[in-house]
Amino acid sequence: MMYKNKSSLWLTLGAAALLIGGGVATYYFVLSRKALENVPIGANIVPTDAMVAVSLSTEPKQWEKLREYGTPESKAALNKTIQQWRDRLFTDSGFDYQQDIQPWVGDEVMVAWLPHQTITSGTLPKPDSPPSSPTEPAMVMVFPIANPQKAQEVLAQPKLLTEGDISQRTYRGIEIIETQGLPTQNYSIAVLGEKFLLVTTDANATDRTIDTYRGEASIAKTPGYANAVEKIQTPRAFAQVYLNIPVAASVASFTSAQPIPPENLEKLQQHQGFVSSVIFEAGGINFKGISWYKPSSQKTLAVENESQEMLKWIPNNAMMVMAGGNLQRLWQDYSKDAVSNPIAPFNPETLRSSLKQATQMDLDQDFLSWMDGEFSLSLIPAVPNKETPQKFSAGLALMVETRDRQAAETALEKLDASMKSKDFRVESTQVDGQPVVKWTSPYGGFSVVRGWLDNNVLFATLGAPIANQILPEPETAIASDPLFRETVPTELSPNNGSFFVDVQRAFDRRNLSLPQLPPPQAVWVNAIRSIGVSAAVVSDRSTRYDIFVNIKDDTQPSSSTPTETTSSPENQENLPE
């Protein structure tokens, strides 16, 4: 049934209210099905092939806390972002959150992105399915109804639609209201019993979600999902994010100018998903995440959590630190996945071939074969020296533990000979009384210093002369630094790796000559003090991550507060208040 819009047209949210009133039979049908507990309620009706699903708290205090973080500039940018999403999620579909949603909505809402079925399944949609674009994922919004009576009362008040048309149809016994001809985005609205209000940007996505509601597989039934959610669940969470890795890989391949080869895509399909809770803390935002493989995956993980000792060699002024338990295994795992991962930072084959060309040595056989212990990579600022000005303001320090020093010495001697053949000056010298080997470029561009710590830990520095900060062992190591301690999560102990970056110093152009960030990105970076990460392998198929973003404490009011209500979009009410 189609309703034509002439001078005016009532967008009958009232029809949605009638659907609530008439949905009792469907409600009893839902009660007969057992929804999975301890997962976001919307996960029970979002189709299993959703690419991303985000569950958001509707608690006003959570949103107020979010808007307290950062600098005045980042607060204004955040308010604008929230405004844009509020318009996309609610205003553009004819809703006002505070008037039409807040009085009856449950504790959390779910927003998911559903790719076209031709991408995720390789099959054509049903002949009677509404048409949709195969390249644009549909947005699916699930609003749990906590107060059916209030929902019926509020939604019975019609909203004026000044453009476009309204049509109604029925799918599997559920009435659906759809807009057509709107200038920005058409919407499809349905009420599922007395439990959910469903809003999507695609009619086909509405049908697929109804199919899920009627019993087909949901993301809650995805293998490993409920177990993963249980491990990172917290009652204080502001949001929970789920990424369906196989679907995301298929979408990336389908939409890329260079599709992922089938054999590489097959490797990515062994992964199942990643979920993370988002928790607001006093000093910043905490992310508790877990990734896991499919039960049928041929790939497994070694449960090794041995990253404990390397931090004692890193001075407390380090701007960036990455530490791990086993460099050899890390490289093996990375090199297997990187070739099939479209967002891998570099191609391992490129590094292998570059090293081979430069030194005639094999990365795996000559080096990684004995790099089987803990490791770290850190960025350490140079100590100012007026007598000897430095070309570099900081230096990189690599440290790696070996269980076979003889093999390491053999490889290093071979490497020294190779560098001599390239006209590098290779000389034995000392740092604080400890023997080291120093390479100096024939062009004076850089130098490398390497030596041993505790007999079985090799270190090498590149760039500024920072070896004297490592030898002898620093009096105050990075693990004792107050900023490091308040940033790097400690719950995962022992762990398999950690990461720390002092964002303020690392992005300060007085410390590092990094390219200047564009203003939109600089606003967010300038609001962050530091970032810390800890990771631990918790089973042969899953890895836990704790991430903390330490945000500047700035109590100045933002330039655009959420409570202002003027005609300017930036100053309208924002999400839940």
Distinct helix (H) and strand (E) counts, the chain: 16, 23
Neighbouring C-beta atoms of residue 427, cutoff 10 Å: 11
SS3 state of residue 226: helix
- Structure tokens, 465: 């002369």
8 A C-beta contact, residue 489 and residue 285: no
pLDDT score at 161 = 60
Angle, CA of 197, 136 and 143, to the nearest 5°: 15
Q: Residues 476-496, buried b or exposed e (16+ Cβ, 10 A)?
A: ebbbebebbeebbbeebeebb
By CB atoms closer than 10 A (0-12, 13-18, 19+), residue 369 is: middle
From CA 474, how far away is CA 470, in angstroms rounded?
Answer: 6
What backbone phi and psi angles, to 5 degrees, belong to 285? Answer: -115, 130
* Residue 448 CB partners (closer than 8 Å, separation 6+): 438, 439, 460, 461, 462
pLDDT score at 171 = 95
pLDDT score at 512 = 80
pLDDT score at 449 = 96
Q: Which residues pair with 380 in a beta bridge?
A: 395
pTM, two decimals, is 0.85
* Residue 134 CB partners (closer than 8 Å, separation 6+): 116, 118, 119, 254
| Per-residue model confidence as pLDDT tens digits over 418-469 | 999 999 999 999 998 999 999 998 887 678 999 999 889 999 999 989 999 9
pLDDT score at 393 = 86
* Residue 406 CB partners (closer than 8 Å, separation 6+): none
pLDDT score at 346 = 83
Dihedral sign for Cα 152, 155, 158, 164, please. Answer: negative
With a cut of 50, list the residues of the chain below it in pLDDT: 2-34, 124, 556-577
Strand 284-293 relative to strand 271-280: parallel, antiparallel, unpaired? antiparallel
pLDDT score at 106 = 94
| Per-residue model confidence as pLDDT tens digits over 205-259 | 999 999 999 999 999 999 999 999 999 998 889 999 999 999 998 888 887 777 7
Give the residue extent of every domain in the chain. Answer: 2-274+558-563, 301-540
